[in-house]
């Protein structure tokens, strides 16, 4: 990012806004340059990731550290190749069904004995879809009902550098989505969700998105009943292909870390054939017969 571009983004962010529409317009200008793609349909990422326990223990325990290559294409095509503890495997979703492979054999995740892997795959699919949507947060927030904001507020975060909690000046924007299928949360049965409460915090100085909280609304009448909140927290932003993307992401469920990911490489809109996401044949195909 050039010094001129940085100055122009700061000018956009620091100039007072006159209302919700003006604020979201400024968010779009702060996050995208003229080189940005009109939309992001998918990505390819190389990630260092830590999966954390979310059980009943009061102390979180890191259970898996892995290197992963993630390939995603809207609406529901995902392929993740993972290397962890001298073990490698592929977990994928072909648009309709999930499958896995260990390099020697491949199997479908439809059977009940693969429930945990199926749930993990659904969480990964949800994260990939939300990442793609919220590269354009201004567009998503314009779709919400009963919008509230922008409201200046403080966001409390743990600072690894300072080794203490710090308060960050932020601007919050929120609203309600009546299309819960667009927010496939991992901890709540989608059949129970009536609406989704969406809250987004932006850094006041740059207008970069720092946190997204999604809370399912399980009942709207006679009173609103809320389910388990899920969050994405972003940091270490950088510009990629004319658009600001996060270099680090945390996923939290009910306030507890589930996934901690560092994006080492991130490419937008890769050219991927949908056949790339299909499960390989269960048996190797014979070599083709050469004609003499």
Q: What range defines the domain where residue 119 resides? A: 3-277
- To the nearest 10 degrees (0 to 180), the angle between helices 3-14 and 20-31 is 170
Q: How far apart are CA 235 and CA 246, in angstroms?
A: 6
CATH number at residue 199: 2.50.20.10
Q: How far apart are CA 201 and CA 230, in angstroms?
A: 14
Residue 138, C-beta contacts closer than 8 angstroms, at least 6 positions apart: 24, 25, 27, 28, 31
Q: How far apart are CA 250 and CA 211, in angstroms?
A: 9
Q: How far apart are CA 282 and CA 203, in angstroms?
A: 49
Do residues 190 and 177 touch, judged by C-beta distance below 8 A?
no
Do residues 32 and 20 touch, judged by C-beta distance below 8 A?
no
The confidence score (pLDDT) of residue 3 equals 56
Three-state secondary structure call for residue 85: coil
The confidence score (pLDDT) of residue 281 equals 81
Domain count, the chain: 1
User: pLDDT tens-digit profile of 256-285?
Assistant: 888 899 999 999 999 999 999 999 886 554
Three-state secondary structure call for residue 289: coil
Residue 60 falls inside a structural domain: yes
The confidence score (pLDDT) of residue 292 equals 43
The confidence score (pLDDT) of residue 288 equals 53
Q: Are strands 225-226 and 42-52 parallel, antiparallel or unpaired?
A: unpaired
- Give me 157's structure tokens: 């975060």
> In degrees rounded to 5, what are phi and psi of residue 98?
-100, 155
Residue 282 falls inside a structural domain: no
Half-sphere exposure of 15 (CA within 13 A, CB side): 15
The confidence score (pLDDT) of residue 290 equals 46
CB count, 10 Å around CB of 64? 12
The confidence score (pLDDT) of residue 183 equals 80
Do residues 218 and 192 touch, judged by C-beta distance below 8 A?
yes
Residue 223, C-beta contacts closer than 8 angstroms, at least 6 positions apart: none
Residue 50 falls inside a structural domain: yes
Residue 286 falls inside a structural domain: no
Residue 160 falls inside a structural domain: yes
- Identify the segments of the chain with pLDDT beneath 50: 9, 11-13, 57-58, 285, 290-292
Residue 243 falls inside a structural domain: yes
The confidence score (pLDDT) of residue 62 equals 60
Residue 290 falls inside a structural domain: no
Q: How far apart are CA 75 and CA 44, in angstroms?
A: 15
Residue 178 falls inside a structural domain: yes
The confidence score (pLDDT) of residue 81 equals 94
The confidence score (pLDDT) of residue 190 equals 82
Q: How far apart are CA 200 and CA 141, in angstroms?
A: 9
With tokens 């560092």, the residue in question is 262
């Amino acid at each position: 990012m050039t010094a001129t571009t940085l100055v122009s983004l700061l000018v956009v962010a620091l100039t007072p806004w006159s209302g919700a529409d003006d604020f979201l317009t400024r968010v779009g200008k702060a996050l995208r340059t003229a080189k940005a793609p009109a939309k992001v349909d998918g990505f390819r990422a190389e990630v260092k990731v830590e999966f954390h326990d979310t059980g009943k223990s009061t102390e979180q325990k890191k259970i898996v550290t892995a290197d992963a290559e993630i390939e995603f294409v809207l609406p529901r095509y995902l392929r993740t190749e993972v290397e962890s503890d001298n073990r490698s495997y592929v977990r994928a979703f072909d648009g309709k069904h999930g499958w896995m492979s260990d390099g020697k054999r491949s199997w479908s995740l439809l059977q009940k004995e693969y429930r945990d892997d199926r749930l993990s795959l659904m969480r990964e699919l949800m994260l990939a879809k939300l990442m793609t949507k919220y590269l354009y947060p201004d567009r998503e927030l314009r779709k919400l009902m009963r919008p509230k904001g922008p409201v200046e507020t403080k966001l409390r975060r743990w600072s690894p550098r300072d080794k203490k909690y710090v308060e960050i000046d932020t601007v919050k924007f929120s609203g309600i989505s009546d299309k819960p299928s667009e927010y496939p949360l991992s901890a709540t049965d989608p059949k129970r969700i009536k609406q989704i409460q969406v809250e987004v915090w932006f850094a006041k100085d740059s207008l970069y998105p720092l946190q997204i909280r999604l809370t399912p609304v399980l009942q709207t009448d006679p009173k609103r009943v809320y389910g388990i909140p899920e969050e994405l927290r972003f940091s270490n932003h950088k510009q990629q292909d004319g658009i600001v993307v996060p270099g680090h992401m945390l996923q939290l469920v009910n306030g507890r870390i589930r996934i901690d990911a560092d994006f080492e490489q991130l490419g937008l809109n890769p050219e991927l054939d949908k056949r790339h996401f299909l499960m390989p044949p269960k048996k190797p195909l014979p070599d083709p017969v050469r004609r003499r």
